[in-house]
Structure 1
Amino acid sequence: MEFSVYNPGEIDEIRNLFTRTFTDSENEAEGTMVGNLAYEVMNTTDSNDLFVFVARDHSRHHGEQIAGCIIFSRLTFDSRIDAFLLSPVAVSTDYQGKGTGQALINFGLSTLKDNGTKLVFTYGDPNYYSHTGFGPVSETVIKAPLPLSHPEGWLGQSLVSKEIEPIDGKPRCVQAMNKPEIW
């Protein structure tokens, strides 16, 4: 498995990965919604506010295949701290349960840290994301950009210290993520 920054020419393949993965795990409507979300984030977010990483499998008989993809988009705080939101994340059904997603997330976190990012947040399954260093974040410490339907899913980690220090105000997410229905 090879981990790298995505190639913008792969955007349709990545959209299909998100659509297939979420259709398999949830349903077709969810698959379409998450595939379109991933596509919109990649197409409408300034390159300075976006990191997209892929896991490629070169061992497939029919050539190279993208096995997983993670998208980090900037969270903007008034205090100007360098922070990103990890969402969405997809690992092809064939590769789930093999550590591909966790290895890809760790690769992404390491790259962000090397680029000066201080904080990373996500909104998802605490059991899954705890394996890559994410922990619950109280909204009294860091508010989510939009109201959360599942507050227990608001997770974060500092890439530079043991704890996340409280930050006043509410962060802003990139336009494509600024949709109440995905929170």
Structure 2
Amino acid sequence: MIELSFGYKNQSSRLPDFFYDVFSASVGGEEGRAIQSLIRELLKTEPDQDLQGCVATDGGDLLGCIMFSRLTFDQDPRRVFLMSPVAVRTDRQQGGIGQKLITFGLDQLRAQGVGFAITYGDPSYYGKTGFLPISEAFAQPPMPLSQPIGWLGQSLSGSQADPMVGPSRCVSAFDRPDLW
């Protein structure tokens, strides 16, 4: 039976290799190593209030994980989190685990008073969980985007969101142009 939990700390020692395995299998070893390094840095450097995560397990086996890190807009009081990276074990993909995990994680953020979530990825996949394309004018990314079509967001407050005010800052682990 699949269990979803908000929190990643009881799985933190397994996460870098988990993300490496998933990304290496899907897009190659170089990308796998980059995401593995990102996860290690996120876990090592980011304070609890700036890093959230949720996991899917089955009988103790790690099936999926999503990380959320704070994205700050200098002149905007709203709490915003970046959803990235997202991974589901390759032999369990296409079964809805990723979408369930995303929905669960967003519900948890919403319950904490987070007003907006942003991700950077495939619009057709993330659109299934309510993410819509947003412009760089609506929410200025912290770095130039290599694929602006993948800049996606959704209001978690239940109302249509106004554009974000001011430039944005990501957590230090994401402060690398090669990730954008």
Scaled by the length of structure 1, the TM-score of the pair is 0.94
Asked if 1 retains the 8 angstrom alpha-carbon contact of 2:71 and 2:170, the reply is yes
Contact persistence 2:71–2:168 (CA under 8 A)? yes
Give the distance between the partners of 1:161 and 1:147, measured in 2 at CA. 29
Identical amino acids, percent of aligned pairs? 44
2-structure distance, mates of 1:53, 1:120: 15
Alignment correspondent of 1:119? 116
CA distance in 2, matches of 1:85, 1:7: 16
State the distance in 1 between where 2:105 and 2:168 align.
21
Q: Residue 163 of structure 1 corresponds to which residue in structure 2?
A: 160
1:145-164 matches, cutoff 5 A:
145-164=142-161
Q: Which residue of 2 is the match for residue 52 of structure 1?
A: 53
Aligned to 1:98: 95
Q: Which moved more, 1:2-11 or 1:81-90?
A: 2-11
Q: Partner residue of 1:76? A: 72
Q: Tell whether the 8 Å contact from 1:12 to 1:39 is kept in structure 2 after alignment.
A: no
Residue 20 (structure 1) aligns with: 21
Equivalent-residue separation in structure 2 for 1:158 and 1:146 (angstroms): 22
The amino acid of 1:55's aligned partner reads A
1:3 corresponds to: 4
Which runs of 5 or more structure 2 residues have no equivalent in the other structure? none
Count of paired positions: 178
Q: Secondary structure at the match of 1:12?
A: coil
Structure 1 residue 66, shift from structure 2 partner:
0.6
Q: Quote how far apart the aligned CAs of 1:7 are.
A: 4.4
What are the superposed Cα offsets for residues 16-69 of structure 1, whole Å, 9 maximum, x if unpaired? 1100000000111111111111121122111011111100011xxxxx211000
User: What CA RMSD, in Å, does the superposition of the two structures yield over aligned residues?
Assistant: 1.1
Question: Which among 136, 146, 150 is matched to residue 139 of structure 1?
Answer: 136
- Length-normalised TM-score, structure 2: 0.95
- In the aligned structure 2, how far is the partner of 1:100 from the partner of 1:43? 27
Which amino acid is the alignment partner of residue 99 of structure 1?
G
Structure 1 portions without partners, runs of 5+:
59-63
Work out whether residues 8 and 54 of structure 2, in 8 Å CA contact, stay in contact via their aligned partners in 1. no
Per-residue deviation, 1:160: 1.0
Which one-letter code corresponds to 1:23 in the other structure? S
> Match of 1:61?
none
Aligned partner of 1:109 in structure 2 is 106
Amino acid at match of 1:130: G
